[in-house]
Structure 1
Amino acid sequence: MASSRLPGKVMLPILGKSLLARMIERLKMIRHEAEIIIATSETPDDDIIISEAINIGIPYYRGSLNNLLDRHYQAAKLHHADIVLKIPSDCPLIDPLIIDHVLDYFFANQNDFDFVSNLHPATYPDGNDVEIMTIACLTKAWENANRELELEHTTPYIWENPQLFRIGNVSWPTGLDYSMSHRFTIDYAEDYYFIERVFRELYADNNQFSCDDILNLLNQKPEIYNINAQYAGVNWYRHHVDELKTITSAQTKQAPTKNLQEL
């Protein structure tokens, strides 16, 4: 709830339910068997997230506000996970088919990789972030990571150290790269307006609408794409380009200096 750019974003309303509830709804659509855990913080501001987790029947874990690596590790240990699938809570348009595609690759090559994602390098539209790791991999990161960015963002210690981990990546089968041009995640008011509009346009006819369905919609109605297009390519890397070995300045951009709209 303490997002600096858009406080309370995961509880914003989408067609009568919270954004978090809509995202959980999409995560439940994957065909792989997985236990979903909402991992939030111990701060009183996040009591509302616990209430929502109880309301929608999803187990939860409360941990550190800023050390997300510890939060994910402790949640995984508590639930006796062998494989950890990390999905950010600000990706309510994530395509279940993409999650399954990355899982398929991980399990088909399980003896070859400790960590598989679709982010290094990213090619899918931003907001389809999938990271999969063994519990041994997550444990090694938890035991050794110490930089603030490694603790805050959970997995940088892993993908920044390919000499220590066997790392795999899944690219978009289309051969396209929309990671810097299409933004389906939420950090700004315009992102919320975009996401809410996509749900209004697509959900009634097909509550399992895909990434392709969204892209078709944006081609038909470019005014929807333009709602948050100014933030396409803006991500957390921009604050740490000088610190990251495997990320270049071409994989991020600075945010516009002023929001065009306010909630």
Structure 2
Amino acid sequence: MDVIIIIQARMGSSRLPGKVLMPLGNSVVLDYVIARCQQIPKIKEVIIATSTLTQDDPIEEWCQQNGVICFRGSEDDVLSRYYECSKQYQPDYVIRVTADCPFVDYHLAEDIINKMESQPTDIMDLEGELPRGLVVEMVSYNALRYMFQHGKEDRHREHVTYYAKEEKHINEFKRTLYTIPDNMQHPHLRITLDTEEDYELCKSIANHFKGDLLVSSANVVAYLLENPEIAQINAHIEQKPVV
């Protein structure tokens, strides 16, 4: 089973510009995301997918300096960016990761791949709620192509897999269900990077674990549960709604 990971990344952000290349631990945010994705077994390629805008040139430059594959496509039509990138590899499955999640759960990703291998379908659905910033999404290449062909609304193009999540389209795909372990079901925690408060929290985590790029997500969650004053740093931040 051929599986690739595509990490969407851009320098533009209304609340925290340049966030994916901001310093974190002994490196930068993007290095955390890539290093963790590279730990996932059975992955054929890990690819950064950014836009063709000049402002995203530093991402491509960083990739070149660090031996990471970089694909460039549409800024706003992220679904197109994913599909055009994956089309070059013709994989069986694509895992979607966002570059503003420096502590993405690579152990979860391994479990999801193993389950999809034993129960192959179009999409892996997760039962339960993770902290924001840890999740990965796994879809078949055929399902991604179908979403690219049929998802016409702006929300479908911006959020890649949103078409398949809408109730009226659910039955258009075959699905496998993965239940999130109880120790990881803490949706009140926010471990993503979209604001200065998020950045302060991520720096606290990175510093506590001494810049360990591969600290397990379970240990990160445990640290925040044991130190609620750290978790409170960004607890008031509201996620932008899908429109």
Question: TM-score scaled to structure 1, two decimals?
Answer: 0.82
Contact map agreement 2:35 2:213 (CA 8 A) in 1:
no
1:52-201 matched pairs, under 5 angstroms: 52-110=62-120, 113-118=121-126, 122-160=128-166, 161-174=169-182, 177-179=185-187, 181-201=188-208
Residue 202 of structure 1 is aligned with which of 184, 201, 209?
209
- Whether 1:224 aligns to 2:222 is no
Offset at residue 175 of structure 1 (A): 7.1
Residues 134-180 of structure 1, C-alpha deviations (whole Å, 9 max, x = no match): 1111111111110000001111112221121113332312176322x
Alpha-carbon distance between aligned partners in 1 of 2:73 and 2:184, rounded to the nearest angstrom: 38
Alpha-carbon distance between aligned partners in 2 of 1:145 and 1:207, rounded to the nearest angstrom: 36
Offset at residue 220 of structure 1 (A): 3.0
- Whether 1:49 aligns to 2:59 is yes
Determine the structure 1 residue equivalent to 2:239. Answer: 235
User: Cα–Cα, structure 1 residues 21 and 171, in superposed 2: closer, same or farther, change >3 Å?
Assistant: same
Contact map agreement 2:119 2:176 (CA 8 A) in 1:
no
1:21-40 matched pairs, under 5 angstroms: 21-40=31-50
Determine the structure 2 residue equivalent to 1:257. Answer: none
Contact map agreement 1:159 1:167 (CA 8 A) in 2:
no
Contact map agreement 2:47 2:70 (CA 8 A) in 1:
yes
Determine the structure 2 residue equivalent to 1:249. Answer: none
User: Cα–Cα, structure 1 residues 167 and 226, in superposed 2: closer, same or farther, change >3 Å?
Assistant: same
User: Cα–Cα, structure 1 residues 207 and 151, in superposed 2: closer, same or farther, change >3 Å?
Assistant: closer
CA RMSD of aligned residues (A): 1.7
Offset at residue 27 of structure 1 (A): 1.1
Alpha-carbon distance between aligned partners in 2 of 1:142 and 1:108, rounded to the nearest angstrom: 26
Number of equivalenced pairs: 231
Q: Hey, which bits of structure 1, 4+ residues long, moved more than 6 A?
A: none
**SS at 1:36's partner residue?**
strand
- Whether 1:6 aligns to 2:16 is yes
**SS at 1:37's partner residue?**
strand
Alpha-carbon distance between aligned partners in 1 of 2:232 and 2:214, rounded to the nearest angstrom: 23
Q: Percent identity?
A: 28
Alpha-carbon distance between aligned partners in 2 of 1:176 and 1:199, rounded to the nearest angstrom: 19
Contact map agreement 1:190 1:228 (CA 8 A) in 2:
yes
Q: Partner amino acid for 1:116?
A: M
User: Cα–Cα, structure 1 residues 219 and 156, in superposed 2: closer, same or farther, change >3 Å?
Assistant: closer
Q: Partner amino acid for 2:146?
A: K
Unaligned runs of 5+ in 2: 1-10
Unaligned runs of 5+ in 1: 241-263
User: Cα–Cα, structure 1 residues 169 and 3, in superposed 2: closer, same or farther, change >3 Å?
Assistant: farther
Contact map agreement 2:104 2:136 (CA 8 A) in 1:
no
Alpha-carbon distance between aligned partners in 1 of 2:82 and 2:71, rounded to the nearest angstrom: 9
Q: Partner amino acid for 1:78?
A: Q
Contact map agreement 1:9 1:19 (CA 8 A) in 2:
yes
Contact map agreement 2:133 2:190 (CA 8 A) in 1:
yes
